[in-house]
Amino acid sequence: MGLFTETLDGWASWCRLFRSLTAFEPLVRGILRREGLPCDGLVTAAGPGTNAVFRAGRIGELVVKIFAPPESGIDSPKDYEIELYGLERAGRYGVPSPALCAHGVVEDRYRFAYLVMAFQPGEEAGVALRGMDGGEKRAFARRLRALIDRLSDPPFEKGEPVGLLRARAVKNRSVENPRWAKLPAALQEKRLAWLEERLPKTASPEETYVHGDICGDNVLLAPNGQPVLIDFADAVAAPRCYDYPPIVVDLFDFDPVLVRAFRGEQPPAAFAADCLTGLFLHDFGQELLETACRRLLSCSTAELQGDYPFGPLWKAVCRLAE
């Protein structure tokens, strides 16, 4: 009898099971035993997401992330490779992130890739920011900018999954991306024209490693006040500005104090242009665009008109950053 005895036959079955202790507790304990880690404590489900995540160990000091196998209907082996690389890169360059304790693949009823990380204490930054004064917000934004610069500055090296990260970036910006396909055709043309004008045709020194989803849920405020990055599964090879939209829209919630501190010495107009470039490249850009239009312009994307439909949004971000 294997450790995992349930049947997976598509996305619906995975959604029903991925937080189930009955389904996953034997597998979690088996992974910990295999790695020589404490496995005799309480196992609990740990938050929403796509993959199966559980706290375990003697006192909940470990987090076990089990990636959905192909039978779930999603392509998680690539997510595993990319997230493993992100954690290793963060550790290599001194970017606060959960410490990686073990990783590997279990051949059970299904092939389960997994990561075991040290539990990272802290408050979700999106929540913590609401209770900060102006000085605390500015300090947080500057620290965050320094961290993502430190993560992105080192060039890619031989053996790193650059091809996989580039392929994901190309897919994200494509007109065939099902998320971007929701955009009206006229705006889709303007979006692609914007990128055509501002991005090189091939990889260049602008291309770097970016986290991909620095939102309110994926940054923790550690007890020492340091921002900590988690969940590297959406990383891509792209210009650094790819990370700006989820930061401004979700993490900062359009707070001008945070935006101004984060942009640093970059002129507001240039920062706003970078935000739009990152937005038009981003896999979740269509949803972020809808939120930005609703919050900053009090309209939907379908109401953007004219030869320069994104001009009002650029101006609104400029005002935030001034």
Ordered DSSP codes for 40-66: SS--EE---SSSEEEEESSSS-EEEEE
* Closest CA relative to residue 105, chosen from 91, 92, 116, 90: 116
Q: Which ranges in 93-209 belong to alpha helices (H)?
A: 125-128, 134-152, 162-173, 185-198
What is the rounded (10 degree) CA torsion for 314, 281, 251, 146? -100
What is the band of 236 on the pLDDT scale with cuts at 50, 70, 90?
very high
The backbone torsions φ and ψ at residue 114, rounded to the nearest 5 degrees and listed phi first, read: -150, 155
Do residues 312 and 183 both lie within one domain?
Answer: yes
What would the mean pLDDT of 194-219 be, rounded to a whole number? Answer: 83
Write down the pLDDT at residue 28. 97
Q: Residue 51 half-sphere exposure, CB side, CA atoms within 13 Å?
A: 25
Examine the pLDDT at 18 and tell me if it is beyond 70.
Answer: yes
Residue-wise pLDDT tens digits, 121-171: 999 999 999 999 999 999 999 999 999 999 999 999 888 898 889 888 887
Specify whether 143 is located in the same domain as 279. Answer: yes
Confidence at residue 312, expressed as pLDDT on a 0 to 100 scale: 96
Question: In terms of domains, do 249 and 311 share one?
Answer: yes
- Residue-wise pLDDT for 93-112, tens only, equals 999 999 999 999 999 999 99
The residue among 68, 83, 96, 95 whose CA lies nearest residue 11 is: 68
Give the model's pLDDT for residue 204: 52
Inform me whether the pLDDT recorded for 210 exceeds 70.
yes
- The domain boundary, picked from 118, 151, 177, lies at 118
* Out of 114-123, 146-155, 181-190, 202-211, least confident range: 202-211
Residue 1 pLDDT > 70 = no
How sure is the predictor about 60, in pLDDT bands with cuts at 50, 70 and 90? very high
Are 177 and 296 in a shared domain?
yes
Asked which of 118, 145, 175 is the last residue of a domain, the reply is 118
Q: Residue 250's pLDDT is what?
A: 97
User: Which pLDDT tens digit goes with each residue over 276-298?
Assistant: 999 999 999 999 999 999 999 99
pLDDT value at position 240?
A: 93
Dmax (CA) of the chain: 64
Which residues are registered as beta bridge partners of 66? 52, 114
CA-angle at 250, arms to 247 and 253, nearest 5°: 95
Length of the chain in terms of residues written: 322
Of residues 166 and 26, the one with the higher pLDDT is 26
- Domain range for 303 is 123-321
pLDDT of residue 128: 96
Token digits for 71? 């039978």
The answer to whether position 272 is within a domain reads: yes
**Statement to judge: residues 114 and 137 lie in one domain:** no
Compute the average pLDDT of residues 78-82: 90
CA distance 258 to 135: 10
> Which stretch of 119-128, 138-147, 170-179, 308-317 has the lowest confidence by average pLDDT?
170-179
SS3 225: coil
Query: What is the model's pLDDT at position 157?
Result: 87
Residue carrying the six token digits 């082996």: 77
Q: Is 150 within the bounds of a domain? A: yes
**Quick one: pLDDT at residue 167?**
85
Confidence of residue 74 (pLDDT cuts 50, 70, 90): confident
Mean pLDDT, rounded, for 221-230: 94
**Number of domain units in the chain:** 2
Q: Which residues contact 128 (CB under 8 A, 6 or more apart)?
A: 221
Evaluate the CA torsion angle 51, 52, 55, 58 in order and state its sign: negative
Answer yes or no: are the C-beta atoms of 73 and 63 closer than 8 Å.
Answer: no
Banded model confidence at residue 31, pLDDT cuts 50, 70, 90: very high
- 114 with 146, same domain? no
Q: Is 286 helix (H, G, I), strand (E, B) or coil?
A: helix
Q: Is the pLDDT of residue 270 over 90?
A: yes
pTM listed for this prediction: 0.92
Phi, psi of 266 (to 5 degrees): -70, 135
pLDDT given at position 200: 65
What is the rounded CA–CA span in Å between residue 264 and residue 277?
Answer: 18
Percent of the chain past pLDDT 70, that is, above it, reads: 97
Is residue 142 domain-shared with residue 88, that is, in the same domain? no
Q: Which of 118, 133, 163 is the last residue of a domain?
A: 118
Contact 68, 13 (CB under 8 A): no
Q: What is the pLDDT of residue 176?
A: 73
Distance CA 274, CA 79 (A): 27
